[in-house]
Amino acid sequence: MELFIPDYVENILYRLEKFGYEAFIVGGSVRDLILGKEPADFDITTNAKPEEIEEIFKEYKTILVGKEYGTVVVVQDEGNIEVTTYRLEAEYLDGRKPSKVYFSDEIEEDLSRRDFTINAMAYNKSKGLIDLFSGQKDLENKLIKTVGNPIERFEEDHLRILRAIRFATQLGFYIEEETKNSCTQMGYLLKKISAERIREELFKILLSDRPSYGIRLMEDLDILEIIIPELKETVGFDQKNPHHEKDVFEHILCVVDHTPPVLEIRLAALFHDIGKPHTLTIDEEGIGHFYGHDKLGVKMSRDILKRLRCPNEMIDDVANLIKEHMTHHADLKDKGLKRLISRVGKDKIFNLIELQKADKRCSNRNADIGFLFERERQIQRILDRNEPYEKKQLEISGYDIINLGYKEGKIVGEILEYLMERVIDEPNLNHRDILIDMVLKKFTNKAK
Ligand code: ATP
């Protein structure tokens, strides 16, 4: 088998070999090349020790990532390459990190510490493919299977349980039976894993082509209740409403799949209806309603995202989309849309429309979403015409108002609010002189 290795990667392999060492591309890059995909990055494994790697590449810019882990990053214009010494991991004491890393002289040992057979292959031009665990066969059969006994491998590093689901989702693969059963059996151990590591895997699942596959796998393997118990409550939750064909969980999965792969939108899709199981009321006709589920969804999603240690800005963006997700019910004219743009932000408004399109499309097979495309065009027109929708676009500031003689404080806010209201209605009023005139006429001296 011959795999195509770009020159800037081949150059590193060549140099290591020239100095008498073995060197292979390894892991995800070999897997992706065999699959005919372009690898996101190339990792190299070698029997050269970190200080030897640094010496060989002394004319290059290098970064020693962690001497004890044996990784040196070689920086080139075309991309950075991680060059790592063959290693063996000594006991994992806490299921999270190896207690000590031992360097090895054997590629076989390095491959045997890797998580899944499809990630445990190495390749170079002279030796060809090194595939000790039938990774190529598993690639053909679309199987995620641990290298060695899954119970032991998951005991060593519990995150591998979620990684199995992540790779299955990204690649559209199945998890091999024994590996799968072990995921369920050992899933509770994920509670011990840091929120950051869980989050990174979860985000990769969400950004894949079909996130529903991964979320459903989590549910099938009893992992969902460990990572996001709030979502578990939506499984099988009947909405008792003819406008909603699916139960809450199935609806959420559909919405996530129908949104573009933008993290904030996918997270908002995942959590937009998470408040529903707590807000169901049934009217006299037996129809279900979920008043306030958007508000509760904001609170619950903030708690979940905080637990996953997401940055505040991301939490605010997701919460804002969830808060506004029901606004597609309102019949908004230009004025209402400007208020919506001002609440959501001009950079995020189209994210909201994407979420709403998916939400509507997934609620009912006869749902018409044409009005959302029209709304999108209407918003674009407002933005293209540069029509003001928020106070900072007014041709007059709070400072100007104070200079007119009004007291600093509440009244300044009221005046700006009044001007904004008028300018939203009539954009032509947004001229300094006109605005000053309006202030002086409306807010007489008593306010000064
Ligand atoms: P991608 O970069 O597309 O996410 P990848 O396979 O490169 O895929 P990484 O998480 O970057 O994924 O890991 C690189 C390689 O390191 C893997 O292919 C695997 O061989 C090994 N590896 C990573 N994490 C683990 C782990 N927790 N246990 C065992 N081996 C691992």
3-state secondary structure 297-354: HHHHHHHHHHHCCCCHHHHHHHHHHHHHHHHHHCCCCHHHHHHHHHHHCCCCHHHHHH
Q: Write the CA distances from 372 to 52, 66, 273, integer angstroms.
A: 60, 51, 20
Å from CA of 195 to ligand 1 middle: 18
Least confident of 47-61, 86-100, 192-206: 86-100
The tens digit of pLDDT for each residue in 395-440 reads 999 999 999 999 888 999 999 999 999 999 999 999 999 999 999 9
- Residue 246 predicted with pLDDT over 90: no
pLDDT category, 445, cuts 50, 70, 90? Answer: low
Taking CA atoms only, the protein residue closest to ligand 1 atom 1 is: 28
DSSP code for 408: S
Distance CA 155, CA 170 (A): 24
Helices assigned H by DSSP within 345-430: 349-361, 370-384, 398-403, 410-425
Distance CA 373, CA 386 (A): 20
Taking CA atoms only, the protein residue closest to ligand 1 atom 21 is: 114
Å from CA of 424 to ligand 1 middle: 53
Å from CA of 34 to ligand 1 middle: 16
Taking CA atoms only, the protein residue closest to ligand 1 atom 24 is: 115
pLDDT of residue 240: 81
pLDDT of residue 93: 66
pLDDT of residue 444: 76
Best substitution site from 65, 83, 101, 114 to test ligand 1's pocket, by max atoms within 8 Å of Cβ? Answer: 114
Q: What is the mean pLDDT of residues 85-104?
A: 78
More confident residue, 308 or 327: 308
- Residue 128 predicted with pLDDT over 60: yes
Taking CA atoms only, the protein residue closest to ligand 1 atom 17 is: 27
Å from CA of 116 to ligand 1 middle: 9
Atom of ligand 1 nearest to the CA of 41: 2
pLDDT category, 218, cuts 50, 70, 90? Answer: very high
Share of the chain above pLDDT 70, in %: 98
The model's pTM: 0.91
pLDDT of residue 446: 52
Q: Write the CA distances from 90 to 95, 120, 268, integer angstroms.
A: 12, 18, 41
Least confident of 209-218, 279-288, 401-410: 279-288
Least confident of 24-33, 70-79, 237-246: 237-246
Q: Looking up tokens 């997934």, which residue turns up?
A: 362
Distance CA 310, CA 313 (A): 8
Å from CA of 27 to ligand 1 middle: 6
Taking CA atoms only, the protein residue closest to ligand 1 atom 12 is: 28
Å from CA of 18 to ligand 1 middle: 27
Distance CA 230, CA 299 (A): 12
Give me the sign of the Cα torsion angle 399, 405, 407, 413. Answer: negative
Å from CA of 381 to ligand 1 middle: 46
Q: What is the mean pLDDT of the chain?
A: 93
Provide the phi-psi class of 155: left if phi over 0, else alpha when psi is between -120 and 50, else beta.
alpha
Best substitution site from 94, 115, 131, 163 to test ligand 1's pocket, by max atoms within 8 Å of Cβ? Answer: 115
Best substitution site from 110, 113, 119 to test ligand 1's pocket, by max atoms within 8 Å of Cβ? Answer: 119
- Residue 309 predicted with pLDDT over 90: yes
The tens digit of pLDDT for each residue in 311-341 reads 999 999 999 999 999 988 778 888 899 999 9
pLDDT of residue 323: 96
pLDDT category, 149, cuts 50, 70, 90? Answer: very high
Distance CA 116, CA 164 (A): 8
pLDDT of residue 66: 74
DSSP H or E stretch at residue 140: helix 135-140
Å from CA of 65 to ligand 1 middle: 16
Q: What is the mean pLDDT of residues 264-281?
A: 94
- At 78, list the tokens: 């075309």
Å from CA of 422 to ligand 1 middle: 57
Within 10 angstroms of residue 429's Cβ, the number of other Cβ atoms is 17
Give the β-pairing of 87-89 and 101-103: antiparallel
pLDDT of residue 447: 58
pLDDT of residue 98: 72
Q: b vs e for 310-325, b when ≥16 Cβ sit within 10 Å of the residue's Cβ?
A: beeeebebbbbbbbbb
Share of the chain above pLDDT 90, in %: 79
pLDDT of residue 31: 98
pLDDT category, 283, cuts 50, 70, 90? Answer: confident
pLDDT of residue 157: 94
pLDDT of residue 285: 84
Q: Which residues line ligand 1 (CB under 6 A)?
A: 27-28, 40, 43, 114-115, 119-120, 157, 159-160
Atom of ligand 1 nearest to the CA of 204: 4
- Residue 94 predicted with pLDDT over 80: no
Task: Return the bridge partners of 289, or none.
Answer: 281
Least confident of 9-13, 235-239, 315-319, 355-359: 235-239
Taking CA atoms only, the protein residue closest to ligand 1 atom 5 is: 28
pLDDT category, 90, cuts 50, 70, 90? Answer: low
Atom of ligand 1 nearest to the CA of 27: 18
